Amino acid sequence: MSEEHDDIPDVAHQRPEGMSDKSVEALGALSKAMETTERARGALYEFHQLTGTADFQVGDAVRLLREAGHGTEADLVERQVLGHNVIPGHWTFQIIEAYNQTYYHPFADLEHRLVDELAQGRDHILEAELKQRRRSTDPTPDTAS
């Protein structure tokens, strides 16, 4: 791409004609909230994986306690921790499923719908305009493109 056109967002990131600054700002805020929600969802998956790993480690500890002759203690750990629900009636995968169904998917669907309706499906307009305004004049080629 020639240098003179590097600062102009491609059509997919250009503000549709007549779209107000406030609309761009509002969709930018909604996009930022969706990104935060993506991070929260990732944290749930991390929680799920860490809890699962811990449960398998508890299983190892139970086995080792038995091998060391501590059957009573192994039984106690097994009864009180191994394979238990993390909240009443739920394992971690069920928490993720409920989050996805109740919050994540409805939010993602709504965000996509509003981008389609208000911005003709053009995403990240705020960021593209920010890039245009803040782009350095450094002659170093943009290797991220």
Q: What is the mean pLDDT of residues 103-123?
A: 92
Total structural domains within the chain: 1
Q: What is the mean pLDDT of residues 128-139?
A: 75
Tell me, yes or no, whether 142 lies in a domain: no
Tell me, yes or no, whether 74 lies in a domain: yes
Percent of the chain with pLDDT over 90: 64
pLDDT, tens only, 14-62: 788 888 889 888 999 999 999 999 999 999 999 999 999 999 999 999 9
Percent of the chain with pLDDT over 70: 87
d(CA 13, CA 8): 9
- Radius of gyration (C-alpha) of the chain in whole angstroms: 25
d(CA 95, CA 100): 9
Please give the pLDDT value at position 42: 98
Tell me, yes or no, whether 145 lies in a domain: no
Mean pLDDT of the residues in the chain:
88
Would you place residue 108 in the very low, low, confident or very high pLDDT band (cuts 50, 70, 90)? very high
Tell me, yes or no, whether 141 lies in a domain: no
Q: How many residues does the chain have?
A: 145
Q: Which domain holds residue 55?
A: 9-133
Tell me, yes or no, whether 58 lies in a domain: yes
Would you place residue 142 in the very low, low, confident or very high pLDDT band (cuts 50, 70, 90)? low
